[in-house]
């Protein structure tokens, strides 16, 4: 069973190109979706989004979700 950090490390090491491409896509989608206000409630400038923990965490989670098919099935958490 892998937690989010393990999944991120796996994708970054084994599928680096796909990770970077998808992360860039997700960042752009979230940035456009937010408009003027970030997820944390502050003004959403490019500089703020690069350093905002909430924005970065949400971007990582969505990127992992979209690349879930690249993670081996034996590593995925089994749900009842």
Helix/strand/coil for 26? helix
- In the structure, what pLDDT confidence band is assigned to residue 73 with cuts at 50, 70 and 90? confident
Buried b (16+ CB within 10 A) or exposed e, 27-64: beebbeeeeeebbeeeebeeeebeebeebeebbbebbb
| Its pTM surpasses 0.85 | no
Between 76 and 20, where is the model more confident?
20
* Per-residue model confidence as pLDDT tens digits over 53-67: 999 999 999 999 999
Number of Cα atoms under 13 Å in the Cβ half of residue 32: 5
The full set of domain ranges for the chain reads: 29-70
Query: For residue range 36-46, what is the model confidence (pLDDT) as tens digits?
Result: 899 899 998 88
């Amino acid at each position: 069973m892998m937690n989010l950090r393990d999944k991120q490390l796996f994708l970054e090491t084994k599928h680096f190109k796909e990770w970077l491409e998808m992360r860039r896509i997700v960042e752009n989608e979230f940035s456009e979706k937010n408009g003027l206000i970030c997820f944390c409630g502050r003004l959403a400038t490019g500089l703020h989004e690069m350093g905002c923990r909430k924005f970065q965490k949400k971007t990582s989670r969505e990127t992992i979700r979209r690349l879930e098919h690249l993670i081996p099935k034996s590593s995925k958490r089994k749900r009842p």
